[in-house]
Structure 1
Amino acid sequence: MLRSFLTWFSFLILATALAACCGSTACECDDAFADAVGLEFDTLGTVTSPAFLAAEIDTVYLVRVPFDTTQRPRADTVQLVRPAARFSQPVVINNTTPFAQAGNRKLDAYRYQLYLAPARRATPTFSLAIDSVQLNTDFRAEGCCTCFENNRKQVYFNGTQTTDLTDPDRNNGLKTLPITR
C-alpha cells in the first residue's frame, strides 16, 4: 500500500512540476493573421486600371453569407468607415474581424461580398465577390507552446479568379489580395 502511495505521490509531484514549467512560459505565436485575408485597394493605378481615390473607399460594406444556409445568422453585414489617413491600408477579414465569430465556424465557412459606397452616393460604385477561402491550418508545437501554422490559403473571387495568399516565409504574415478595377 505504501509503495502505491509513493508512486502516485511522485507522479503527482512530477505532473505539477511539468505544468508549472509550461504554465510560466509565454507563447508568442504570431498567428494573428494565419487565416486572415487582406484586401488592398490599388491607390496608384495604371493606364488600363484607374486608381481608387480616398473618397471612393471611405465606406466599405462587407456581407458574409454561410455556405450552409440552415446556419444562423443567414447573412451579416458590416459597414467599415475608413478615415482618409487609413485609405491605403488593407481591409482585413479574419475569423473574428470585422465579424464576430459564430460558433466554431472559421473564415472558410462563408462567402463574402464587398461593396464600395462613398458617403455621398446611395448606390455602390464597386463590388467584389469572394466565392470561397480554402484554408489548411495545422498546429505547430514547440515545447509548451502550440501555435497555428497556415500551410495553404487559396482565395477564389469573382467567379473565376483564384490567388494564393499563403505566406511564403511560413510566418503567418498577412499577404494581401490586390483589388483593381
Structure 2
Amino acid sequence: MLRFSFNWCLFVLTAAVLASCCGSVACECEDRYAEAIKLQFSADAVKGFQDREIRNVFLVRVPNDTAQRPRADTVAFTRANGQRLRDTLVINNLTPFTRSGNRNLNEYRYQVYLARTRRDSVFFRYAIDSVALRTRLQGDGCCTCYQNTSKLVYTNGSTTPINLTDPSANNQLVPLVLARP
C-alpha cells in the first residue's frame, strides 16, 4: 500500500512540474495570417491602377452553401485622409467581415468591385471563386501552433489556381495581385 501511495505522489509531482513548465511559456505562433489573403492592386503602367482609381473598393462575400445565412455581406473601403488602399486589404476569418457561425475564409466566394465614387458604376470586377486551404497543427514542446501548408486561390472562373502559400513556411502573406484583364 505504501508503494502505491509513493507512486501516486510521484505521478502527481511529475504532472505538476510539467504543467508549471508549459504554463510559464508564452507561445508565439505567428499564425495570424495562416489563412488570410492579401489583395494588392497592381501599379503596372499597362494593366495596373492609379491611386485615384482605388478610392472606393467594395468587397462582397457569399457563402458557398447558398442555403446559409447571411446570403451576402458587403464591406466598403473608402480612401480617406490620403490613406492608400493599394495593398492594405486583407481577407481573413475575422476581418474585414465578422465571423458567421464557425465558417472560415474558404467557405465563401468573394467579389471585388472598384468604382470611382460611390455613385458611379463599377468599372472593375474581380472574382475569387474558391480558396483551397491545407493546414496542420505543429507541436514544439509546450506550444502547438497552426501551420498553413497550402493556400490555393481560384479566380475569375479559371481552373488553374494561384498559389499564395508562403514559400518560407512562416504563415506570411503572399499578395494576390489584381490587374486589369
Fold shared by both chains (TM-score > 0.5): yes
Displacement after TM superposition at 1:40 (Å)? 0.6
Cα distance, 1:13–1:136 mapped onto 2, change above 3 Å = same
On the 8 A contact 2:58/2:77 being kept in 1, the answer is yes
Equivalent residue, structure 2, for 1:152 = 150
**1:134-170 Cα distance to aligned partner (Å, 9 max, x none):** 0001111111111111111110000015210001111
Q: How far does the alpha carbon of each residue in 1:112-142 deviate from its partner, in whole angstroms, 9 at most, with x for none?
A: 1111123254321211110000000111111
**TM-score normalised to the size of structure 2?**
0.89
| SS at 1:16 equivalent | helix
| Separation in structure 2 between the aligned mates of residue 159 and residue 59 of structure 1, nearest angstrom | 24
2:9 is aligned to 9
> What SS is found at the alignment partner of 2:83?
helix
Deviation string 1:54-106 (CA, Å, 9 cap, x unpaired) is 22212211111111122222211111223433233241111111111222211
> How many pairs does the alignment contain?
178
Q: Which 10-residue stretch deviates more, 164-173 or 120-129?
A: 120-129
Superposed, 1:13-52 pairs within 5 Å as 13-46=13-46, 49=47, 51-52=48-49
What's the offset of the Cα at 1:3? 3.8
Residue from 133, 136, 145 that aligns with 1:135: 133
Who is 1:63 aligned against? 60
Correspondence 1:30-179 to 2 at 5 A: 30-46=30-46, 49=47, 51-83=48-80, 84-119=82-117, 121-160=119-158, 161-179=160-178
CA contact (8 A) 1:167 1:174 kept: yes
Give the alignment's Cα RMSD to 1 decimal. 1.7
Secondary structure of 2:172's partner? coil
Once residues 99 and 40 of structure 1 are traced to their aligned partners in structure 2, the CA distance between those partners, rounded to angstroms, is 18
Instruction: Please state how far the C-alpha of 1:18 moved relative to its aligned partner.
Output: 1.1
Task: Indicate conservation of the 8 Å contact 1:41/1:90, yes or no.
Answer: no
Question: 2:164 and 2:62 mapped to 1: Cα distance?
Answer: 21
Deviates further, 134-143 or 86-95: 86-95
C-alpha separation between the residues in 1 aligned to 2:144 and 2:30? Answer: 11
How far apart, CA to CA, are the structure 1 residues paired with 2:40 and 2:59?
Answer: 14
Task: Report the residue type matching 2:177 in the other structure.
Answer: P
